[in-house]
Amino acid sequence: ETGVTQTPRHLVMGMTNKKSLKCEQHLGHNAMYWYKQSAKKPLELMFVYSLEERVENNSVPSRFSPECPNSSHLFLHLHTLQPEDSALYLCASSQDVRTQPQHFGDGTRLSIL
């Protein structure tokens, strides 16, 4: 139990569907992150939030839309995804953006049909 909970654990969706991934942290951290993990590739940082404000966006396609309503919750809204978007999406949190280590959730395994 890392204190970071992601739901759902698995998601299968068509390319025209709209769905959302949810992340919740119970650690009192101020920074939250979305990562993408594809087979045989390093973890790719997608978004960074600090106190609900987005501070980093690593050239992620607009079909991925993050939302951070408060410092404990982070969402990733998905719309019109492509087959190459199938991956494990990991959420992480840390005390602040310059504080390590990051604590990870178990991820959402996303499959695009």
Interface segment toward another protein; rule CB under 8 A; list 11-19, 60-68, 75-83, 84-92: 84-92
Give least dist CB 80 to another protein, A: 25
Residue 112 touches another protein, criterion: CB under 8 A: no
Q: 46 Cβ partners below 8 Å, 6+ apart?
A: 33, 34, 35, 36, 57, 58, 60, 64, 66, 76
Interface segment toward another protein; rule CB under 8 A; list 14-22, 38-46, 61-69, 74-82: 38-46
How deeply is 96 buried, as exposed, middle or buried, from its count of CB atoms within 10 A (0-12, 13-18, 19+)? exposed
Residue 59 touches another protein, criterion: CB under 8 A: no
Between CA 23 and CA 89, with CA 34 as vertex, the angle to 5 degrees is: 80
The binding site for another protein (CB under 8 A) comprises 2, 4, 6, 31, 40-43, 45, 48, 50, 55-56, 88, 90, 92, 94, 96-107, 109
